[in-house]
Structure 1
Amino acid sequence: MDGSTVIEDPPVLTDGVVTLRCLTADDVDALLAGEDDDQVRWLSEGHRSERPPTTAWVAQNRAQWRDGGPRRHLGVLDAATGELAGTVEAHLALPDLPRGTANVSYAVLPAWRGRGYAVRAVRLLRRWLAERTDATSAVLRVDAANVPSLRVARDAGCLPPEPGPDGLLHHVLPLREPARVVLVCGPAGSGKSTHAARLARAGWAHLAFDAAAWAAGHREHPLPADVAARVHEDLRARLVGLVGDGVDVVVDTSFWSRASRASYRALLAPLGVVPVTHHLVTPRAEVLRRLAARTGAGPDDVVVPPDRAAVYLDGFEDPTPDEGPLVRVPPA
């Protein structure tokens, strides 16, 4: 069987925030109560679930583990409360996918959305697939109109998507590779810290230039050149240490110039890591509106005078695909 495993009991996997375990009959009520229009549209082909077939489906999932079938389905639980928050599945032998590719799908119940649980579940399942199967990659197949699911694929660290023959966007997630690094790129006010924080909630280590400068007592833009150099030096050292430990990292600074992005790529190249640039493509008017509303309340709220904001925007060098992997992130 493609991507086969030895027959084993279903695992229990956790990262301390979510726990994955096989569903039981006791989960049926939560599954039915948590089904909403989005799940019906994207996962159930427009059909509402009913108790008898849902109960049978839960039993079939356990049987797949017991009998060595191709589907590896697990419930996603909130680790603190034990409540069911969603589901995640790897199909190890989907007929229309290449040999060695596991199809990964997921769903989060409405009450638990927006917490990064789907990304955490995908990353836990990815680790299990790498350790316990002969699959070499996973693919997340997502409808182009399913914006939340597109974000999951992006934040889980998938490669930039390509159109599939089924009309869906195929996001490939290699199973065995070095730690991943995302360079969050955009001018002040573009939403970099919000985007990086979403990745951090999903388990990425977060290195933030503004937070480091604020902790060192600096409250104004721009920083003196020598101070900025020291902050970057510290971030780079911490980045190398984290990547060396196999930790996925999001680096949150402006990366306003092609040269700044190239310097981080050169730093990571000896470690076998090719960073992905996430470019925040927020419109100029929105950036200026956000900056005008700042009050200096914290590292993500440092006041930027209008003339300085204009300099930042006019001097910003947009990243291009020839630099390396690039994901354009629309305004939040």
Structure 2
Amino acid sequence: MTVTEAVAGVRGQVLLGDDLLTLRCLQDVDAGAMVDGDDPDQVRWLNDGHPSDLARTREWIGRNQHEWREGGPRRNLGIVDRATAALAGMVEAHLALPDLAPGTVNVAYGVFPAFRGRGYAARAVRLVCTWLGAATDARTVVLRIDADNAPSLGVAQDDALVRAGLVRVGPGSDGLVHHALPLRRVARVVLVCGPAGSGKSTLAGRLERDGFVRLSFDEEAWRRGHRDHPLPGPVAAEVHGVLRARLVAHVRAGRDVVVDTSFWSRASRASYRALVAPLGVVPVTYHLTTPRAEVLRRLAGRTGSGPHDVAVPARLARAYLDGFEAPTPDEGPLLLVDAG
């Protein structure tokens, strides 16, 4: 593959979104909507002239699910209308398309007839480009569009994409019109999110071994002599202040960073996102979706032997879980990781 993700061995369900759309991995139940959304334009531009049928579509979805699980190069996402939860189309990032330069990702898209004319394709491309810049080492996105495909060419004229640097680079050897978007990235930042006992530190350690600088709330608190959680408000704010200052310094130096703390609230995640936004960085949230029973089992076995083994009474453990505000895709790129 010419493009890799931040941690190639970590698999999960990617969720991206804004106020109108959610992009998610395709599911078996999407097959019917995909067949129903077929029309002559879909057949001509995306299906190589072959009308969709249910059996082939189900097989295609299965292949895509396999590629997500196994780290294959084709990453398809369903475009879902948030207001109705209806599947509105698909968008694909191909991480290793032959004949493209190393570090280049091909992005393709299609919107069903009932949802056309609303700007959904351009929004989906923007969201995918944000994910690629935040979660992979991709350097360029390319849109390859047939010169006769006027609606798709319109996506390449989207104001936000043009402001981000999307430009027409001319016809390619494949006979398609190529548009290229450079992914300007200073550094990658991962926010590891989950309640105590969900496996955050284990995941952060994997990122650290892959070259990320790890900033740990629990380790900094332990170093300062704090053995009981939760910390008093002023103390927690002081520890976060240290992490925030180090995060900015590392990002300015071009280093990839993983922040290892619970990020239990939407506000806490937003504050760290706002901190690095002026530096041109969009963090990816890795949300560990460890089952509640497993979290409680792990916490019950803690002995207080170190920063990642702080004892948590059962009552407090349940309160942590009950008060946890799960991240949503409209906050920014999100990966749901099953660490059960």
For the superposition of Structure 1 and Structure 2, which TM-score range results when normalised by the shorter chain? 0.5 to 0.7
Q: What aligned pairs does 1:122-141 form with structure 2 within 5 A after superposition?
A: 122-141=125-144
Q: What aligned pairs does 1:116-195 form with structure 2 within 5 A after superposition?
A: 116-155=119-158, 156-157=161-162, 158-176=166-184
TM-score normalised over the length of structure 2: 0.52
- Secondary structure of the 1:126 match is helix
Which runs of at least 4 in structure 1 moved beyond 2 Å after TM superposition? 243-246
Cα distance between partner residues in 2 of 1:60 and 1:97:
23
Who is 1:74 aligned against? 77
Cα distance between partner residues in 2 of 1:21 and 1:97:
26
Who is 1:61 aligned against? 64
Q: What aligned pairs does 1:44-59 form with structure 2 within 5 A after superposition?
A: 44-59=47-62
Unaligned runs of 5+ in 1: 179-242, 247-332
- Secondary structure of the 1:11 match is strand
The residue identity in structure 2 corresponding to 1:21 is R
Who is 2:4 aligned against? 4
Distance 1:177-1:145 versus aligned 2 partners, 3 A rule: farther
The residue identity in structure 2 corresponding to 1:88 is V
Q: How many residues align?
A: 183
Preserved contact between residue 35 and residue 53 of structure 2 (Cα < 8 Å):
yes
1:10 positional shift: 2.5
Who is 1:85 aligned against? 88
Cα distance between partner residues in 2 of 1:37 and 1:47:
10
1:32-73 deviation digits (Å, cap 9, x = unpaired): 001000011111121111111110110111111100100111
The residue identity in structure 1 corresponding to 2:93 is A
Distance 1:29-1:137 versus aligned 2 partners, 3 A rule: same
After superposition, the CA RMSD in angstroms is 1.9
Cα distance between partner residues in 2 of 1:56 and 1:115:
30
Preserved contact between residue 168 and residue 177 of structure 2 (Cα < 8 Å):
no
Cα distance between partner residues in 1 of 2:151 and 2:47:
17
- Secondary structure of the 2:23 match is strand
1:70-106 deviation digits (Å, cap 9, x = unpaired): 0111000011221100000000001111100000000
Cα distance between partner residues in 2 of 1:55 and 1:16:
29
Q: Aligned residues: percent identity?
A: 53
Unaligned runs of 5+ in 2: 187-276, 281-340
- Secondary structure of the 2:14 match is coil
Who is 2:111 aligned against? 108
User: Are 1:94 and 2:62 counterparts?
Assistant: no
1:209-238 deviation digits (Å, cap 9, x = unpaired): xxxxxxxxxxxxxxxxxxxxxxxxxxxxxx
Q: What aligned pairs does 1:258-277 form with structure 2 within 5 A after superposition?
A: none
The residue identity in structure 1 corresponding to 2:21 is V
Q: What aligned pairs does 1:239-258 form with structure 2 within 5 A after superposition?
A: none
Cα distance between partner residues in 1 of 2:51 and 2:96:
26
Who is 1:39 aligned against? 42
